[in-house]
Structure 1
């Protein structure tokens, strides 16, 4: 894909998008992960097909990437929660509203790439369907995180039917900027980067969670990258967007 919008997740040691031109999306070199390990993960469906990942913030609120809403009608959107499969099981709820960040822009690479989905009816929370707290601070370089999703496991490839995950390490912003400056993509202060020696998210993982494995807080939302597993994955920095996300939820519930 042109943008690394859905990062391929590879989980070493764990039982261990949106389709628009630009840098790429996916989980590459990852491993199967039960939904009970990441109960905040959902599949965002466009009609009956997996489009992107999403994150449960509350029983009626899902966080995702703004680019996942490109060229889709809200009436066609729903989310599946509580299943390791995007195509069956768990619970499905329709989307009532979809709100992109007002500063979102896609080209040449996404910026302010976050959105809030309001569901028509609440999810039933439990061991396989649960909300996650937002990080208060941007994670330090070296922080170990977990990304998950149903994106491509190789390029070219197809959306994997079973949930995969991968551990990736937060990079210093300057180091990440150096990866991308020669290919004319800009890493800005609303983004964080993570790498795992070819483990990555990929197409189809966009909008999914990046979670600090130590405190189990949401630190990032899968956004973009150039190539799956070839350059660091780029994520929306949840701490940067924390106030906007909380305000938007409060205003729309």
Structure 2
């Protein structure tokens, strides 16, 4: 557990504002993890109750998302989201952790408030980035974080079920969650938010984005209403179906909530990679 003394030291270390303009992977911007590597917490963060974070989102009840974690740097600043897949591994976007050292990352679980000083945290022991990450650009954006100790499961912390078979049909309701900003160039607040949209097949997603290169069968697209969707800070977060199965991991989007589809790594497409990496085997 983190202690109040350790956090006081971090809070006194600096007073940088929490501008999150680079904390979601957007076209032409730096990787979100690298962009936030040295950012600190600040007492300037809102201490009020839950407000909009995911653009146009709503605050879920405590325990609704027991598998989500806040990936933070050594100063306990939220970088990206992640998803617990077993007692030692968290899946996230490779763009969240590319270029970072494992020892500089922690995963905070079991809370809707990423600034919760009593929430359990786990140090990252090793980063497994997909060998074809960004080959081509915006593809294979997935990574596994191997933790230094087992996650303690309880009512607020659980692993998620992976969607084994790609059964998505156009119009299926999908729900995402994250701690991202409520608007482009916005600042982070504290509380988890969620929003729902509908599954959009790859061909229609490409048409909507006017892009043929950055979306393929390894992606899941979600069409949100204008004013709703992912924003800075939501990268790596879970996209779930109505059976609470993981169908996507937040990859990239057009900022923020302007009516364009949001793009996720397709969980079913990467199931073999996830399981083989966890088991310690090498994929040829």
- TM-score category (smaller protein): 0.7 to 0.9
**1:2 and 1:172 mapped to 2: Cα distance?**
28
Aligned match of 1:218 in 230, 246, 269? 246
**1:142 and 1:72 mapped to 2: Cα distance?**
37
**2:185 and 2:159 mapped to 1: Cα distance?**
33
Q: TM-score normalized by structure 2?
A: 0.77
Q: Is the 8 A contact 1:35 1:41 kept in 2?
A: no
Unaligned residue ranges in structure 2 (runs of 5+): 1-20, 36-52
Alignment of 1:201-212 (within 5 A): 201-212=230-241
* Alignment: residue pair count: 235
1:106 is displaced (CA, Å) by 7.2
Structure ranking higher in strand proportion? 1
Q: Is the 8 A contact 1:3 1:225 kept in 2?
A: no
Q: TM-score normalized by structure 1?
A: 0.86
Which has the larger Rg?
A: 2
Aligned to 2:160: 132
Aligned match of 2:173 in 125, 136, 144? 144
**1:70 and 1:206 mapped to 2: Cα distance?**
13
Q: Is the 8 A contact 1:35 1:163 kept in 2?
A: no
Per-residue CA distance 1:150-174 (angstroms, 9 max, x = gap): 0011122112210001012111211
* More contact order relative to length (CA 8 Å, sep ≥ 6): 1
**2:249 and 2:101 mapped to 1: Cα distance?**
22
Aligned match of 1:114 in 126, 137, 142? 142
1:72 is displaced (CA, Å) by 2.0
Cα gap change, 1:82 to 1:4, in 2 (>3 Å): closer
Aligned match of 1:5 in 25, 40, 54? 25
Do residues 41 (structure 1) and 39 (structure 2) align? no
Do residues 78 (structure 1) and 92 (structure 2) align? no
Aligned to 2:55: 28
Q: Which secondary structure state, in structure 2, belongs to the residue aligned with residue 165 of structure 1?
A: strand
Aligned to 1:247: 276
1:216 is displaced (CA, Å) by 1.3
1:241 is displaced (CA, Å) by 0.3
CA RMSD of aligned residues (A): 2.1
**1:58 and 1:227 mapped to 2: Cα distance?**
32
Q: Which secondary structure state, in structure 2, belongs to the residue aligned with residue 37 of structure 1?
A: coil
Cα gap change, 1:32 to 1:64, in 2 (>3 Å): same
1:118 is displaced (CA, Å) by 0.6
Q: Is the 8 A contact 1:66 1:115 kept in 2?
A: yes
Do residues 171 (structure 1) and 185 (structure 2) align? no
Q: Is the 8 A contact 1:34 1:163 kept in 2?
A: no
